[in-house]
Amino acid sequence: MEHKALFLDRDGVINHDPGDYTVSLEEFIILPTVIEALQLARSKGYLIFVITNQGGIAKGLYTHETVHEIHNFLLRTCQEAGVEINHIFYSPHHPEFGNSLTRKPERLLMERAIARYRIDPTQSVMIGDRERDIQCAAQVGVKGILIPANSALIDAVETLA
């Protein structure tokens, strides 16, 4: 059986995007409707994935360890609210330091999720706050929904079947 999935960008969709980089756990502030939106998506039968570019690693602004600390906090917070994020995929690359097929708008991270978790792209959705999120989704046949940065995720999730 193939599953339907909700793919989410991180900065600006799940947490407040300060406009440059979220460089520490102290700067990682989950947006107000995110937990409720994830609970709703789960109740609609979606697996949940985060697909995020973390080019600040390539730029030396923060480390893989910092990203893991932030992601572990996010996973714990969600788990405490009774909702599971199936997997968080991130790309540590930045175009100023070389190209990578993992960095959105490229599709490798979404392809990994689709293959590993037996996802049906035609039933799945990507919600992001940048055009590259939507371009990435389109490359694998997933519908994209573009939302304003730091807006209420629940508004977009309520529209899902």
Domains of the chain by start residue, with CATH: 4-157 (3.40.50.1000)
Pick the closest to residue 39 from 130, 145, 154 (CA basis): 154
Q: Alpha helices, DSSP H only, in the chain?
A: 34-43, 64-80, 108-116, 131-139, 153-157
Q: pTM, whole model, 2 decimals?
A: 0.97
Active site (annotated) includes residue 9 = yes
Pairwise CA distance, residues 66 & 73, whole Å: 11
* Residues 125-151 pLDDT 10s: 999 999 999 999 999 999 999 999 999
**In the chain, what are the helix, strand and coil shares in percent, each to the nearest 5?**
35, 20, 45
Tell me phi and psi for residue 160, to 5 degrees.
-75, 145
**Active-site pick, 11, 17, 129, 133:** 11
Q: Burial, 100: exposed, middle or buried (Cβ in 10 Å; 0-12, 13-18, 19+)?
A: middle
Residue 72, Cα to own-chain centre: how many angstroms?
14
| Tens-place pLDDT, residues 22-61 | 999 999 999 999 999 999 999 999 999 999 999 999 999 9
- Read off the tokens for 43: 């109740």
Catalytic residue among 9, 17, 129, 133: 9
Q: Is 11 a catalytic residue?
A: yes
Beta pairing, strands 125-128 & 46-53: unpaired
